Amino acid sequence: MIGDPKWSDDELIDFMMEHPILINRPIVVTPLGARPCRPSEAVLDILPNPDIGPFTKDDGEVVIDSEGRRVR
């Protein structure tokens, strides 16, 4: 797997250049854990302070409404 420590940074970059889908899954690390954050709202589960106010994705989908409630 790509997470194997045997791969050097240069090898990992080569893999990503060869297979861009690998970087289409951003990995977010916080004190509460790490996870691939696709869809983008998955990051809300590991934010230390998830009270970020209203959150609407680039495509217009509302994730957190104006009252601070998660819509999905």
Residue 22 lies in a domain: yes
The CATH number given to whatever domain includes residue 21 is 3.40.30.10
pLDDT for 1 equals 65
| Tally of domains within the chain | 1
Give backbone dihedrals phi and psi of 11, rounded to 5 degrees, phi first. -65, -40
> Domain range holding 40?
9-64
Per run of 10 residues, the mean pLDDT along the chain (length 72 residues) is 82 88 81 86 87 89 92 80
Kindly give, in sequence order, each residue whose CB lies less than 8 Å from that of residue 45, ignoring residues fewer than 6 positions away. 35
Residue 43 lies in a domain: yes
For 6-70, give the DSSP string.
TS-HHHHHHHHHH-GGGGSS-EEEETTEEEE--SGGGGGGG-SS-----EE-TTS-EEE-TTS-B
pLDDT for 21 equals 80
